[in-house]
Homo-oligomer: A and B are copies of this chain.
């Protein structure tokens, strides 16, 4: 095998109550990437389509992630990477994570899988560090492992994969506005009330329990975030209307994807997910705000070779 074509799925991090710890993998939204062996050692990004991103290895998240991996294994050859971006940068559904994780996943295949998917997470996190200054795992972990992932701890890294209930669908709407990560961060408060924190960890427990027992109602009852969402949602046009519309159309829960501006809703079954999408689109159509809309099953297997 001299090259692999990889599907690099989009992901939803900061899943309501699971801010900074819970994420999920999407099924049919993602980038494609070709990773190829080359005689010349090292890593070269040879092509990027669909986005204006740096080709220099050290400035590209895919390049940086793969370089981190190569420090821990002996590759008898080098790598060329072609990236076909479909996930928009800054959309809040893990664009940089898809590239970071895709590069290490593809190279690992060409090397005969010296690393498990879970072991690849720490390398992909180096791409995230380049992108945001913070080596976080909450997008790269679901991209690599699929389903839901809980980052119980970042240091030491402790990631738990939780299978998705079979009928769980996500609807994601991406309003075409620019929301700077620095703005999304600056609205956060460094302290929270003990009362809200207890509510939040009760909901995290409920959500994890709901996932293991495939209890869709419990998942829905647990999908609340009373700490971060009230602060960040004001930065997203029409957030309350979109969320209200999602609930009216049968959503189990709805919230901000990543640090926004995308908004997600989870639901049981494709029909409901599509109904929710229609309702969300109508909200932005009404105010003439351009958007992208996605309806996907939760992807339980994660990144894959095409």
Chain A interfacial positions (CB closer than 8 Å to B): 17-22, 150-153, 158, 160, 162, 188-195, 197-209, 212-213, 218, 221-222, 227
Chain B positions within 8 Å of A158 at CB level: 206, 221
Instruction: Let me know if A160 and B206 touch, CB within 8 A.
Output: yes
Chain B positions within 8 Å of A222 at CB level: 152
Chain B positions within 8 Å of A20 at CB level: 198, 202
Instruction: Let me know if A201 and B199 touch, CB within 8 A.
Output: no
Jot down 23 A-B pairs with beta carbons below 8 A, ordered by A.
A18-B201, A20-B198, A21-B198, A150-B206, A150-B209, A151-B202, A152-B206, A152-B218, A152-B221, A153-B202, A153-B206, A160-B205, A160-B209, A160-B218, A190-B195, A191-B192, A192-B192, A192-B193, A192-B197, A197-B197, A200-B201, A201-B204, A209-B212
Pick from B153, B192, B197, B212: contact of A212, CB under 8 Å: B212
Chain B positions within 8 Å of A151 at CB level: 202
A21-B205, A188-B194, A197-B197 known; 16 other A-B pairs, CB under 8 Å? A17-B201, A18-B201, A19-B198, A22-B205, A151-B202, A152-B202, A152-B218, A152-B222, A153-B202, A158-B221, A189-B194, A191-B191, A192-B194, A200-B201, A204-B204, A212-B212
